[in-house]
Structure 1
């Protein structure tokens, strides 16, 4: 590889790892645990569902790894669908690409921005409880503050990606590292705290489903942990 190609190569091993970390670890891990716990109200049931969700996620990851190794083409899911469904030609691949661009990716970005906006407001506001209202659009300015923060965040992210791909790679790798450090710290802190929790609240672990509310709660929580 000559010097020009070396300088122009923007995605190396670390950048690729960072991109995958950012794709896999989104806002869900920071937002869904509270909703799962609120829905189930049982630590054992929550842990069981998280374990099942982890197995399903691992199966999906291994499937993508197998497809990537077997199909030596760029394009990701679109290329895989072109090979799997040949008739009508490229139709299924086109439908997936269309839905991904129009609905799937924008919906994912919107959900992440909503989480970023809400946590940002919790950080800077002394009255974060006003955001817990379920009135939505009728909630007035507190509701619109979240939307404004989300729009500003999206504009900043779009701006530095447009300005420099190399700068965007550095920023994304930094965020990936921060995520790994934060989640590792939380996991270690939980393991350190676990013995005292078990000794102080042993009844929480005696019956895994005693306090749960029903099938709908399990279904809702399973969808959250399986995303």
Structure 2
């Protein structure tokens, strides 16, 4: 794979290497994490968490535990990001600690399934809330929902391909909008509780389901709402002073989101009975209709804006994974190129868009969430194993930020539980399909990556696309 290219010249005529700019400061970093986390989940998952765990009290415990788990996981990733200062998240960490094959299997699964599934799931929730006001008396047609979702994906692909700063400005704007929306829900809940609406919290643990599968699935749904806690690690090379801003952004964003989520769930339960909450298809809209009356439509708008901001953050980081994988030789060279003027990884973003649109066609929200969570936590576990390896075998590596070894051990145990619990307690054929798909990466890696069969097969296409898209190979920005 080509590692460098003379893409520009300075005044003396000497070549300069193209690289992505460090555009992200602390505010952008916090917005990328919190803005991606606060998306569709808090507006769509509370009823599913409550349904699976069975009681309001236990559901609040699930939400709090998910926040703690996300916080501990992000602290582990903060250490990894300051030891291995490369973009790419789990992919680059697994490759540096577990080898090329495991790294390829991770990125193969991530690029073709996990990231597109995440983008498609968030886009579907954005679309459902966007079209809901036009179909107040009946469910919106699936075709209309998917067309709206596709429009959102394509629109953000264009924005992210044009300018990094503009996409981050969108992220900051939508973060402010969604925090204000959640603040309205929190304040409404406080007023209800002050007014004496506490009956739904009496005997709050009655009916709790204590089986392994109900707890595991409840965690899947809750953790979907916290997805994005590791987003900053995908763009380390575009972060200013990562050794300082990475842990600082994590410590600001995730506790803020956790507290908001808990207060919002309390507000939902103050306004609705558990039965009403579980039967709602759009819990925020139901809350708005009960509490805000004729202004209830604002919650539908807020949920759509929230999902759109989360989709932007997921898209921003997802394209970078594809870009880094191509730069490491695990994807076609064209995907490791950046626009010569805008310095955005536009080929990788276009590819991510195309795969996401394919996943969107047959997808539905709940199946996407469960599939995403199972696969994601499998690779989170491998990543945390790599951190333990670095701590034990390579203690001499410089570590601007360091976590106690007990933290990655605890998160690794949680990851193992989340992967194995649903399979052991309630085996389903879908989990076998997921496992076989992950393993299938081996049969692509061995002939085409390890033995480099057909090395020049894509050369002509690469040159054509390079000229057409005005892109050139980009170097690591360390």
TM-score in terms of structure 1 length: 0.77
Give me the whole-angstrom Cα distance separating, in 2, the residues matched to 1:221 and 1:205: 22
2:56–2:204 CA contact under 8 A, matched in 1: no
Structure 2: which 5+ runs fail to align? 1-20, 225-478
**Equivalent position of 1:130 in the other structure:** 139
* Aligned with residue 222 of structure 1, among 193, 197, 219: 219
**Equivalent position of 1:197 in the other structure:** 197
1:18–1:172 CA contact under 8 A, matched in 2: yes
Give me the whole-angstrom Cα distance separating, in 2, the residues matched to 1:111 and 1:37: 20
Structure 1: which 5+ runs fail to align? 1-7, 132-141
**Equivalent position of 1:153 in the other structure:** 152
Give me the whole-angstrom Cα distance separating, in 2, the residues matched to 1:83 and 1:213: 41
Give me the whole-angstrom Cα distance separating, in 1, the residues matched to 2:202 and 2:215: 17
**Equivalent position of 2:206 in the other structure:** 209
| 1:93 positional shift | 1.2
| 1:223 positional shift | 2.0
Give me the whole-angstrom Cα distance separating, in 1, the residues matched to 2:86 and 2:209: 48
Q: Does residue 113 of the first structure (1) align with residue 123 of the second (2)?
A: yes
**Equivalent position of 1:144 in the other structure:** 143
| 1:186 positional shift | 2.3
RMSD: 2.4
Q: Does residue 30 of the first structure (1) align with residue 29 of the second (2)?
A: no
* Aligned with residue 51 of structure 1, among 61, 64, 75: 64
**Equivalent position of 1:104 in the other structure:** 114
Give me the whole-angstrom Cα distance separating, in 2, the residues matched to 1:172 and 1:192: 30
Measured at CA, do residues 32 and 85 of structure 1 come closer, stay the same or move farther in structure 2, by a change above 3 Å?
same
Measured at CA, do residues 17 and 55 of structure 1 come closer, stay the same or move farther in structure 2, by a change above 3 Å?
closer
**Equivalent position of 2:177 in the other structure:** 178
Deviations 1:145-183 (A, max 9, x none): 111111111121112223333322211221122222222
Larger deviation: 216-225 or 148-157?
216-225
Measured at CA, do residues 207 and 193 of structure 1 come closer, stay the same or move farther in structure 2, by a change above 3 Å?
closer
| 1:82 positional shift | 2.4
Measured at CA, do residues 27 and 207 of structure 1 come closer, stay the same or move farther in structure 2, by a change above 3 Å?
closer
Measured at CA, do residues 13 and 49 of structure 1 come closer, stay the same or move farther in structure 2, by a change above 3 Å?
closer
Give me the whole-angstrom Cα distance separating, in 2, the residues matched to 1:205 and 1:70: 48
3-state DSSP of counterpart to 2:36: helix
Larger deviation: 9-18 or 145-154?
9-18
How many pairs does the alignment contain? Answer: 202
Query: In the TM superposition, what are the counterparts of 1:157-172 in structure 2 within 5 Å?
Result: 157-172=156-171
Give me the whole-angstrom Cα distance separating, in 2, the residues matched to 1:159 and 1:112: 17
